[in-house]
Chains A and B, each alone.
Chain A
Amino acid sequence: MSEKSKGLSKVEEICSQRSGRAKELKDEGKKIMGYFCIYPPLEMLSALDLLPYRILGDMREPITKADACLPTVVCPFDRSALDLGLKGKYDFLDGVVWAHVCEVGEKTAHVWRTYLNPAYFHFIDIPHTIHKPAQNQFVQQLKDFQKTLMSFTGKKLTSEMLAEAINAHNEQRSLVRKLYDLRKPDPPLISGSEVIKTLKAIMSLPVKEGSELLREVISEVGERKDGVPFRPVRLLIWGSIIDDTPLIEMMEELGANVVMDDTCVGSRAFFPDVKLTPDPLEGLAYRYLVDLKCPRTFKESTYGETKKDYLTDLRSRFSYISDYAKEWKVSGVVLQSVRYCDIHGYEVPGLGDYLDSVGLPHTYIEHTYDERSLAPLRTRIQAFLEIIRS
């Protein structure tokens, strides 16, 4: 990696060869730990001087090998990630940590472990609810994770080490929130594609290096003139993972700036902080189980309520989205999901009803996590923008 590139050009450089820095550090003796989805607590990896490296798919690469292990009718993102694994593209990982985010994710974990058999593998169970016993269970899950991590690294993981890592990650999160502040002006100072690339880059770097890169991007973007052109519609994009830019670029071409997201290479992964608790695992467990916003966790307005009021329930689950819409001055919401994602799919009708109730226009699109599958969506997105503008 060139020493000279900074800020967004460095982001570009990292995204063109995402594992570059990890492999460099591996040569220096650092252990690289792949993680899947946003639920494994990264702080526990950073605290042990392991590099947390997000396992992603590649929507530009046809799936070939994974078709021998998972049927085509399951999450194409999971299939793509597994496919890259089977093709040896994650061979530089010293270990992998996976969490029970969803049913297909769970099975993919076991398939990965079977066929790729990394030196270290840990599967964290995540409860489906945020009930008190579920929170306790998650703390215990993290304790077991801590045990296997310590035996893998041969190091003790103390509360002090964890607290330090929590601070480092919280700092990175506050920088990401600052980056998102730059999306608030009209036109935004940074484009939706640039944000995705930046976040993808920092998900491939040690936490402090990632924060440094964020600082560079923030200062560069804050100073540059005419970075992003004015576009008549400001969109928020919600849903399953978006780890590449074609969809965002299509929206930009059609006259919309994507100024906010609720996706997991996005605000969902970074917005909530971890609170420092006497036992740091408790703060971690709370943040990852309760504060993360993925629909994989069952949430309701009142724990154990015996009466259901639909709109109250929707408000408790989705009001943060209309808060985002207000703060980022959003004129429409694109709900998107990869095909066969049950947890996002089931969320759509309710979220649609909620957005209707607050008067936010929305549309739902589904894709197969394949660059080529996006073209037919063009008409839908364009018509949606026409509706907003009319």
Chain B
Amino acid sequence: MKDLGEIPPEAPMGGMPKPVLLMSAGSLCDARYKWFQALGRYLDAPVWVLELPHLGVKEGLMEGAYDQAIRFMVEELREFVGFLEKLLGKKMDWDKLEDISNDIIDMNRIWYETNELRKARPCPMHSRDFWTCMTGCLYPAGDLKALKKMYQDLYDEVKYRVENKIAACPNEKYRLVFAELPPWHSLKFFDRLAERGWSFVVESWAYHPPKPIDLSQVKDPLERIAKFTYQWFAGYFEESEKQGEQMGYFGYPYLEYARDWQCDGALLHPLLSCRTATNHLMYVQDRLIQKSNVPSLVASGDIVDLTLFDPEDTLRRAEAFEETMDHYKEVRKKEGLGW
């Protein structure tokens, strides 16, 4: 095929320039590094695979395991810096790295606290806003100071809404958690559910910032980066262990969400073309109902093939699902679950 490895002519903004480096990560999904490796067929660019330890809950809590994981990540990051310096022919600007990483960590903290505010009843901020705003933290680019100010403004706005009981969804009847990747092509769908009083108060674990930890005493910026990143996983281990849950990330966070954000139900969105992001959803569905009496509505879809998502059918089922949510609300009340 003549255009393989070329930039498609219709690519937005003229397409991406040919990369000097393919930076992949062994985190969560195998495609992240195997795909970049396979791209070698078309791009004569080196590939670097960043490491992130994937421990089980019990193993992650073993004595010394946390420190070892951080040590490993820091060593890997140091190797990576050396590699970058060689590749680019210039030295790392440590002050700049310090500044950037602090901004990112800070930004994520503000964003985390913003999402904490969504625990309020009525919920002041809806999932649609989450999906519009999460990119700045997850893919930080451009002017970080401006970005940080945006998140601070957002926080202030959401806080104001909480104080004044301004609801994101005017008649908040049901509070829901959504997982995982949304139907980007049909976000309007959430509005239709909002009309029915469905308020999406929290969503997809991997897109939420990690639980903040105090990193001010950590001198080495690489260690700060490592601890901040590993927190996505480790931040849930202790609670997960207490609850006897084994899937510390991907799985357990939804139990915490359901409890702390007081969810009546979950909307799960399995995808064919991103299986890693969603192949745990059956398990999540089971854990939610077993542990917390929170039922799930499963709406299959895709982020590539629009035809796999049927909004009309989902809406029809949503109507029936309301009865299910009502039922489990009673069950939770009887079991003294508190919401």
Contacts and interface: CB of A to CB of B under 8 A. Distances in A.
A68 interface: yes
Contacts of B35: 346
Contacts, number: 154
A4 interface: no
A307 B46 contact: yes
Given A304-B82, A349-B38, A103 B270 contact: no
Interface in B32-50: 33-35, 37-38, 40-41, 43-49
B26 A69 contact: no
A368 B245 CA distance: 31
Interface residues of B, number: 55
A296 interface: yes
B40 A131 contact: no
A137 B52 CA distance: 11
B34 A131 contact: no
Contacts of B59: 122-125, 144
Contacts of B44: 307-310
Interface size band for A: 35 or more
A3 to B, nearest CB: 42
B282 A70 contact: yes
Contacts of B272: 73
Interface stretch (B137-145, B258-266, B273-281): B273-281
B319 interface: no
B68 interface: yes
Nearest to B21: A306
Nearest to A104: B279
A68 B38 CA distance: 33
Interface in A31-58: none
Contact of A310 (B40, B48, B55, B286): B40
Given A71-B270, A113-B246, A123 B56 contact: yes
A124 B62 CA distance: 12
Given A136-B72, A140-B68, A308 B47 contact: yes
Nearest to A352: B41
Contact of B279 (A70, A129, A347): A70
Given A69-B283, A313-B40, A350-B40, 17 more contacts: A68-B286, A71-B281, A71-B282, A74-B275, A104-B279, A107-B250, A125-B54, A127-B53, A129-B49, A131-B51, A298-B47, A304-B48, A304-B79, A308-B45, A342-B29, A342-B30, A346-B31
> Which 5 A-B pairs rank lowest in CB-CB distance, beginning with the nearest?
A128-B26, A123-B56, A133-B75, A346-B34, A110-B247
